[in-house]
Chain A
Amino acid sequence: MNKNHRVVVTGVGVVSPLGSDKETFFANLMAGKSGIRHIESDFAESLETKIAAWVDFDPLAHFPKHKANSLDRVTQFALVASQQALEDSGIDLGTQDKERIGVYLGTGMAGAASLEEGYIRLYRDNANRLKPFTVLMAMPNAAGAQIALDFVLTGPNLTFCTACASSTISIGEAVRLIRSGEADAMLAGGSEALLTFGTIKAWEALRTLAEEDPENAGASCKPFSKNRTGLVLGEGAAMVMLETLENAQARGARIYAEVVGFASSSDSAHITKPSPEGQARAMRNALKNAGLQPADIDYINAHGTGTLLNDSTESAAIKLVFGDEASSTPVSSTKSMHGHLMGAAGAIEFIACLMAMQQQSLPPTMNLNDPDPECDLDYVANKGRVGVKVDTVMSNSFAFGGTSGVLIAKKL
């Protein structure tokens, strides 16, 4: 068996604050639109910052009532994005060996809402018992398991939980699995639905959330800007269909790109404070894995959270790896528009990269009028670029806990 299969992306699916289909999502990115807005839940008045990048989502538009009631929002998102990715790939699962197709999913807080709802019943409402589906809705592997159940994919099924890097890691590990010959295809990506009162309060306590821009709530996330104040929490899901080049070519599939490089590393320095060396190590190893040089990269989708520490550290790390090429390599943070999707962040940003290659266009970093002097790269500030060469891309994800994940994809 060929132990070094080439792996390509043939389908993508998104459920996002900027639209829940790939075209709308990318068109909104290119237009600089923001998915960040006021939280409408009752608990919003008790929050210090009342904004998030949330998804307009009606579960009953996708699932029968009882099924919707037995799936956490994180699983609902994941299923819808998976369905899109499968349809987009044009794959006919009936003709495939489904034992050789698996699911790798990343998530940060998994079924946060279901767990919280349980606690509300117990501690606030003094109920003495919980709904029968509580465990099945809250367990971290619920979304990945449900995807396998719905589409009858009986290959490996793993859930990756590495905070903000979860879905970059899930995609990268799925690529490794297919390369090794252990699977022909994988649905991989991430899902996150953590906009609950308890979870937002926990983030609030970390003092990493952005203050609301007084003039425009949508402009509150300001990556690489001198006046950035933090990240904006988001939710959604993003899934990609990965398969061997042979498989894709044999069925005449449309191919977005080949995933040529992946690496992960651990800072092992601090639980929240990022390390330029750790981030640089992941980027270097991904380049090495791809057999590419920094000059080959046409675009970097940055982790770019908008926190004080991340953006300067990431800029420094890019300079460590890219050297003289750093200033001429466009870097953007699409989180300025879709917020921080945590466990789905890496996957949705990877899809932004794939769409950038497909459309030869670079999405901007919005709200960047006054750059931080420590952030002195080309951040594609405030206006996307259309009709530029985007043939090779790098997507960065750096997590609390110190895990870094970097993916590199190249047009065929």
Chain B
Amino acid sequence: MDTFETLRGIITDKFDIDASKVTLDATLETLELDSLDTFDIIFEAEEKFGIKVPNDQVEIKTVQDVVNLIDRLRAEQGKK
């Protein structure tokens, strides 16, 4: 399963948000997710993807931002 599909699964499962609303260009704000909710999503993503998101990289606006962050960290941290 690709990054987006997995991330969408995390968001819909945690927050009871309709999957059709979770698109790549959706902002977390329009999904009514605040900064604490973002931490919660990142926590799950770290578990599922086996990555560690540094504290200074949790400033994200859209679902695409999260997908990019996860993919970049998977590539970087997977090489270690």
Query: B-contacting residues of A (Cβ < 8 Å)?
Result: 64-66, 69-70, 129, 131-133, 136
Contacts and interface: CB of A to CB of B under 8 A. Distances in A.
Contacts of A70: 36, 40
B18 interface: no
Given A132-B36, A133-B36, A66 B16 contact: yes
A66 B36 contact: no
11 contacts: A64-B16, A65-B15, A66-B14, A66-B15, A66-B37, A70-B36, A70-B40, A131-B40, A132-B40, A133-B36, A136-B36
A69 B16 CA distance: 12
B43 A132 contact: yes
The 10 closest A-B CB pairs, nearest first, are A132-B39, A66-B15, A65-B16, A132-B43, A132-B40, A66-B14, A64-B16, A131-B43, A66-B16, A132-B36
A69 B14 contact: yes
Interface residues of B, number: 9
Contacts of B37: 66
A68 to B, nearest CB: 10
Nearest to B46: A129
A376 to B, nearest CB: 57
Contacts of B43: 129, 131-132
Contacts of A66: 14-16, 37
Contacts of B36: 70, 132-133, 136
A43 B16 CA distance: 31
Nearest to A130: B43
A65 B15 CA distance: 7
B40 A133 contact: yes
Given A66-B16, A132-B39, A132-B40, 13 more contacts: A64-B16, A65-B14, A65-B16, A66-B14, A66-B15, A66-B37, A70-B40, A129-B43, A131-B40, A132-B36, A132-B42, A133-B36, A133-B40
Interface in B27-44: 36-37, 39-40, 42-43
Nearest to A131: B43
Contacts of A69: 14
